[in-house]
Amino acid sequence: MNATATHVDSSGVTITDLHKSYGKVEVLKGIDMRVEPGEVVCLIGPSGSGKSTLLRCINVLETANSGTIEVAGFEATDPDVDLDVMRRHVGMVFQQFNLFPQMSVLENCTIAQTKVLKTPLAKAQEIARDALAKVGLADFADRYPDQLSGGQQQRVAIARALSMQPSLMLFDEPTSALDPETVGDVLGVMRQLADEGMTMIVVTHEMAFAREVADKVVFMDGGVVVEQGDPADVIGDPQHERTQNFLSRVLHPGGID
Ligand SMILES: Nc1ncnc2c1ncn2[C@@H]1O[C@H](COP(=O)(O)OP(=O)(O)OP(=O)(O)O)[C@@H](O)[C@H]1O
Ligand SMILES: [Mg+2]
């Protein structure tokens, strides 16, 4: 078995009536969402609709005000949950790759393993090299982040997350900061992960990716889920006016509506 094989988890993600406010402003207004193990869910919606906030609540970078989130067999919203243990099962990839600039690619992929999981260095390096091979960067282990293109750095960020052998991967607009010519490489890695059965929640404006790779598309606006379902339905035949307006803006950027 490959050392970075997906941790098998039978629980997926269940979000029930989730509310989150910043001060008096409620930005998540009762979110219900289910992600089956092995499913890829793409989260789409206009700026400010609460997509990042929802992802951040899932791995408890933000604390929800009410409602429940079950993730990878843990109740993330339980105040007594062991966050360190829970977060080992949840990998996160951000728009800005957030690599450690003073560490080599290999070190970026071993540091959390050795510090958090207490994996012996040789084993951590083996796992990291497998993860780097998976993202097509086996030969880049000794480079430093500033010696890589944006797309390569993002693939290292994915390898770094995979090195923790998570059962769920969260992606927050992973290709938005990339030059167009490197977007395809990153999406290709994500597609491969999906094909291998990784459970994924992906915030993205890449509608072709959502259409082809997602099992389910969730459209959020104003802190609520407006519409969710099969990508062919939500993207190809949206039922709600808000979804239609959003998609026409994303699919025909520059158009005046
Ligand atoms: N730390 C914070 N403090 C106060 N308000 C916040 C904070 N983080 C987000 N918000 C507000 O919450 C709302 C939802 O923000 P969020 O970042 O989740 O939206 P988003 O859908 O990810 O948008 P984008 O597509 O621009 O990334 C916005 O109105 C935002 O200004
Ligand atoms: Mg966001």
Cβ(22) to ligand 1 under 6 A? Answer: yes
Cβ(27) to ligand 1 under 6 A? Answer: yes
pLDDT at site 36: 95
Q: Distance from CA of residue 213 to its chain's centroid? A: 14
pLDDT at site 8: 47
Cβ(204) to ligand 1 under 6 A? Answer: no
222-253 pLDDT, tens per residue? 999 999 999 999 999 999 999 999 999 998 87
pLDDT at site 84: 87
Q: Is the pTM of this model over 0.85?
A: yes
The whole-angstrom separation of Cα 43 and Cα 31 is 12
Residue given tokens 């010519």 in the structure block: 181
Minimal-distance CA residue to ligand 1 atom 16: 50
Residue ranges in the chain whose pLDDT is less than 70: 1-10, 255-257
Neighbours of 50 (CB within 10 A): 25
CB 169 within 8 A of CB 91: yes
Closest CA to 209 of 43, 67, 3, 46: 43
Q: Which residues surround the ion ligand 2 when the cut-off is CB under 5 Å?
A: 52
Cβ(73) to ligand 1 under 6 A? Answer: no
The whole-angstrom separation of Cα 35 and Cα 184 is 25
Cβ(24) to ligand 1 under 6 A? Answer: no
